[in-house]
């Protein structure tokens, strides 16, 4: 059984108005911030070194997520990779990904990371329009076209780009401008996220989650799906599109219930049997990493599987459900699946000797509702 490894870097240059993730603003890598980042690195190393039960496990994907992992710096990222290679069997050509802010994608900063094995870099553009980035309070990052062009021609890595759509106030021109600017850079992978108004964020205080907002979201998502399909990007998950063969192997582990080890303040992991998480602040984590077992009932585990598997455009098959839970899909879930088929929100296809369920295009636009209907009897 191969594992993924997730390394959480909960630091950002500033706080975006729509973000509800735990992260600490770290504008510059100097002074007290440097001491904090160095302390976090030492805690990560200690954490990896003390994960004795899994030492020696085969690792085929490593993902630095955040936060803004690129501001952790090449030396610290290299040190984490060295430690992982010391304690785990990281296979040759393992997928090694990092998320970056546009201001961190300088070629001189990325080449050392590529030298130590990073082979997949995703840039969180969100929008090429400064007006839209200001509207959602995206921590201001100038997107310099020449720097972007340089980044997207670095050989030997998979280039990813994140966009955000469904921003109330965005015109069709701006939406298509963002999509066409993205395509022109020829990334192998594109993520398109719908803006969500998370409770407690400053954006949720100034933007209403009303009918107008929801209609715009649906319309912009439909445009993005069609536009990217015409440009040769296949949608393999609700928010993810790629040129065939460039799917994120690491993220697919989350959606197909494969094991991954998580390290860092706020990281989650799944050993294949047990889930665990870390809910410590950075300061607590630096003092001593400590994980909590996330004990779940079988029903809760089934609900989680269905919630993640239905995010995949190919959905899930009865066989894959059986292989994970050693039992058939529960009666009430099957009833919900059938009802949703009648409502044309879900489709059911023959898959060998098994049946496969997936969202229809209509279901995809209201995926939260459809997925909730599937799992509500398990909650
Ligand atoms: S950069 Fe990402 S993680 Fe950091 S505050 Fe902005 S949205 Fe949140």
Q: Are 182 and 144 in contact (CB under 8 A)?
A: no
Q: Which residue, by CA, sits nearest to atom 6 of ligand 1?
A: 16
Q: Tell me, what's the pLDDT at 285?
A: 97
pLDDT digits (tens, 9 = 90+) for 32-82: 999 999 999 999 999 999 999 999 999 999 999 999 999 999 999 999 999
Nearest to 72, CA basis, from 36, 121, 114: 36
Distance from the alpha carbon of residue 23 to the mean position of ligand 1, in angstroms: 7
Lowest-confidence pick of 11-25, 52-66, 235-249: 11-25
User: What does the CA dihedral 260, 264, 267, 272 come to, rounded to 10 degrees?
Assistant: 20
CA 77 and chain centroid, separation: 19
Contacts of 304 (CB under 8 A, 6+ apart): 296
Residue 15 CA: which ligand 1 atom is closest? 5
Q: Which residue, by CA, sits nearest to atom 3 of ligand 1?
A: 67
pLDDT digits (tens, 9 = 90+) for 286-303: 999 999 999 989 999 999
Q: Give the C-alpha separation, 372 to 378, whole Å.
A: 10
Q: Determine how many CB atoms are found less than 10 A away from the CB of residue 168.
A: 19
Distance from the alpha carbon of residue 16 to the mean position of ligand 1, in angstroms: 6
Residue 101 CA: which ligand 1 atom is closest? 1
DSSP bridge pairs for 24: 11
Peptide bond just before 166 cis, omega within 30 deg = no
Q: Are 255 and 367 in contact (CB under 8 A)?
A: no
Domain ranges of the chain: 3-253, 297-379
Q: Which residues line ligand 1 (CB under 6 A)?
A: 12, 15-16, 19, 21, 23, 66-68, 139
Q: Determine how many CB atoms are found less than 10 A away from the CB of residue 171.
A: 11
Q: What is the DSSP letter of 233?
A: P
At residue 90, does pLDDT exceed 90?
A: yes
Distance from the alpha carbon of residue 25 to the mean position of ligand 1, in angstroms: 9
Name the residue of 10, 11, 12 to mutate for ligand 1: max ligand atoms within 8 A of Cβ: 12
Q: Which CATH superfamily is domain 3-253 in?
A: tm_1862 like domain (3.80.30.20)
pLDDT digits (tens, 9 = 90+) for 275-287: 999 999 999 999 9
The overall longest dimension of the chain from CA atoms, in Å, is: 62
Q: Give the C-alpha separation, 364 to 360, whole Å.
A: 6
Q: Which residue, by CA, sits nearest to atom 7 of ligand 1?
A: 19
For domain 297-379, give the CATH number: 1.10.10.10
Q: Tell me, what's the pLDDT at 28?
A: 82
Q: Are 275 and 269 in contact (CB under 8 A)?
A: yes
355 phi, psi to nearest 5 deg: -110, 145
Q: Over range 170-186, report the average pLDDT.
A: 96
Q: Tell me, what's the pLDDT at 209?
A: 87
Write down the H helix ranges in 155-196: 172-184
Residue written as token pair 């020829």:
186
What separation in angstroms does the CA of 344 have from each of 43, 267, 341?
50, 37, 5
Give the chain's end-to-end CA distance (angstroms, integer).
30
Q: Tell me, what's the pLDDT at 107?
A: 87
Q: Are 129 and 111 in contact (CB under 8 A)?
A: no
Q: Are 88 and 56 in contact (CB under 8 A)?
A: yes
Residue 14 CA: which ligand 1 atom is closest? 5
Q: Give the C-alpha separation, 282 to 24, whole Å.
A: 8
Q: Are 197 and 164 in contact (CB under 8 A)?
A: no
At residue 139, does pLDDT exceed 80?
A: no
pTM given for the model? 0.95
Q: Give the C-alpha separation, 223 to 112, whole Å.
A: 38
Nearest to 28, CA basis, from 20, 18, 36: 36
Distance from the alpha carbon of residue 241 to the mean position of ligand 1, in angstroms: 21
98 membership: H or E segment, kind and range: strand 89-100
């Amino acid at each position: 059984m191969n594992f993924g490894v997730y390394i959480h870097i909960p630091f950002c240059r500033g706080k975006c108005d729509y973000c509800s993730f735990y992260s600490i603003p770290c504008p510059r890598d100097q002074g007290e911030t440097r001491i904090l980042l160095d302390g976090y690195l030492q805690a990560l190393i200690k954490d990896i070194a003390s994960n004795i039960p899994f030492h020696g496990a085969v690792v085929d994907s490593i993902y630095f997520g955040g936060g803004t992992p690129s501001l952790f710096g090449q030396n610290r990222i290299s040190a984490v990779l060295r430690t992982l290679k010391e304690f785990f069997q990281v296979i040759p050509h393992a997928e090694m990904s990092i998320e970056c802010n546009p201001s961190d994608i300088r070629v001189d900063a990325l080449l050392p990371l590529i030298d130590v094995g990073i082979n997949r870099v995703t840039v969180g553009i969100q929008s090429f329009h400064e007006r839209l980035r200001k509207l959602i309070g995206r921590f201001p990052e100038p997107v310099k076209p020449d720097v972007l062009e340089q980044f997207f021609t670095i050989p030997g890595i998979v280039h990813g780009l994140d966009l955000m759509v469904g921003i109330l106030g965005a015109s069709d021109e701006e939406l298509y401008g963002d999509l066409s600017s993205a395509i022109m850079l020829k990334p192998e992978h594109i993520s398109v996220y719908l803006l969500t108004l998370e409770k407690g964020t400053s954006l949720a205080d100034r933007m209403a989650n009303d009918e107008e907002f929801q209609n715009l979201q649906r319309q912009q998502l439909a445009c993005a799906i069609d536009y990217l399909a015409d440009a040769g990007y296949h949608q393999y998950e609700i928010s993810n599109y790629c040129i065939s063969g460039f799917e994120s192997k690491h993220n697919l582990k989350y959606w197909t219930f494969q094991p991954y080890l998580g390290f860092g303040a706020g990281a989650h992991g799944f050993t294949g049997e047990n889930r665990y998480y870390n809910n410590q602040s950075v300061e607590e984590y630096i003092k001593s990493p400590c994980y909590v077992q996330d004990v779940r009932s079988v029903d809760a585990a089934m609900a989680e599987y269905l919630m993640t598997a239905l995010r995949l455009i190919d959905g899930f098959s009865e066989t894959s459900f059986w292989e994970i839970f050693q039992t058939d899909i529960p009666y009430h879930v099957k009833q919900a699946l059938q009802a949703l088929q009648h409502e044309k929100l879900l489709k059911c296809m023959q898959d060998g000797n098994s049946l496969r369920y997936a969202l229809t295009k209509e279901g995809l636009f209201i995926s939260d509702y459809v997925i909730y209907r599937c799992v509500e009897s398990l909650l």
